[in-house]
Amino acid sequence: MPTAPVSEDNAPHVQLYYEDSGVPSRTAIYTTLVVLHGTGFHGAIFQRLVPLASPAGLRLVLINRRDYPGSTPFSDDDIALSTPGSPQEDSELFLWERALELARFLVWFVREGKVPSISTSDSGVREGGLSIVAWSSSNIIVMSLMANLSRLPDDLRGTLEPYMRSYIHFDGPRWALGYPDSEYFTLAHPLMDPTLSKEEKFARFKHWVSAYYDHPDVASRSLSGLTEVPPSESTSTTDRMSPEEDAATSSYDALVHSERHIRALPPSVLLRNRNRALFEYDPEHVVSLDLWPKVPVKMLQCEKSLWDMISAMWETEDTYKASLLEKRPVRQMEFHMLEGCNHFAHWDDPEKTIRRWAEIA
């Protein structure tokens, strides 16, 4: 079982489990995608992408976050930092510690895995390096990293810079970016529904998050063009999984132990990280926008995903365009839609997903 050490020297041992698709067979220079999973589902949910990686010239590295199979569980002290009602500073620290663990993993992997750094081919094409792909709620970790680059130890930041191609924000929800819920939509998030037992919450969540939503007018860029109710005849991705597939890709224990607290982190903390990572500039001080300036953020949302995901891209794109018009410094961004796909595009349509990742990485 491959694991990577991600704790500080002399600190309690912490490790992250990962799976590596390996070096592509037909090229010595390739792009590495380090992929983070979301809530309740771990790295195995991306397994259908693995056999497609080498033909696409990609190396996939699938990380299991803390509390998920093979990785170190959260301690009671870790959980205390994320418990609702804790001081805001504790929530910030919890996310920052996860960001540091990710950075340490990346440094360890580029060395141990002999990842080629970014180079330019004779034809002017950028080759090599790595991109982070953060699916769903895992964007809270990568946003914390990008928001706090000035806090990242110089040796970690300097080691990674020659490798960092991009950060792909893959179908992340609006709450993870600190956006408020909308009064336009009234159905309760299953994990936050007090009328459900823990078991009912997880079952309802899996069906809800993996449904196909036929939004009436995505092109309108208006909440009125979205729906929170999937068609009655459609089948959610997880409903089509066998019991063995469900057991192999999801983790009820992580949901109960930590994710229910993480989902309730203060929006103000998540909003602050998003702004620092993407939009805040201070000419008097070194801020995140000054560091890793060649690392863009590329939002890739899924057309038939939850309204929560699609509206997150709209609002972020609006802020980005307004900043450009006002000639304010921003991190370079791109905005893409994965047509016809739901939140589990990598399971239901792995070919389309890997192709789009390769195009934008």
pLDDT for 285 equals 78
Q: What is the mean pLDDT of residues 11-32?
A: 93
pLDDT for 159 equals 98
Domains, the chain, ordered by start: 3-360 (3.40.50.1820)
Q: How confident is the model at residue 282 (pLDDT cuts 50, 70, 90)?
A: confident
Least confident segment among 61-70, 105-114, 194-203, 278-287: 278-287
Q: What is the mean pLDDT of residues 328-350?
A: 98
Alpha carbon of 68 to those of 248, 320, 326, 359: distances in Å?
Answer: 12, 34, 43, 30
More confident residue, 215 or 187: 215
In angstroms, the CA 40 to CA 68 distance is 9
Contacts of 104 (CB under 8 A, 6+ apart): 4, 5, 6, 7, 156
Mean of pLDDT over the chain: 95
pLDDT for 214 equals 95
pLDDT for 233 equals 76
pLDDT for 121 equals 86
Q: What is the pLDDT of residues 53-112, one digit of tens each?
A: 999 999 999 999 999 999 999 999 999 999 988 899 999 999 999 999 999 999 999 999
Q: What is the pLDDT of residues 205-238, one digit of tens each?
A: 999 999 999 999 999 999 999 999 988 778 899 9
Q: How confident is the model at residue 26 (pLDDT cuts 50, 70, 90)?
A: confident
In angstroms, the CA 65 to CA 206 distance is 19
Residue 141, SS3 per DSSP: helix
pLDDT for 170 equals 99
More confident residue, 359 or 85: 359
DSSP tag of 229: S
Strands 31-36 and 164-170: unpaired
pLDDT for 283 equals 78
pLDDT for 10 equals 63
In angstroms, the CA 144 to CA 147 distance is 5
CA angle 29/6/102 to nearest 5° reads: 60
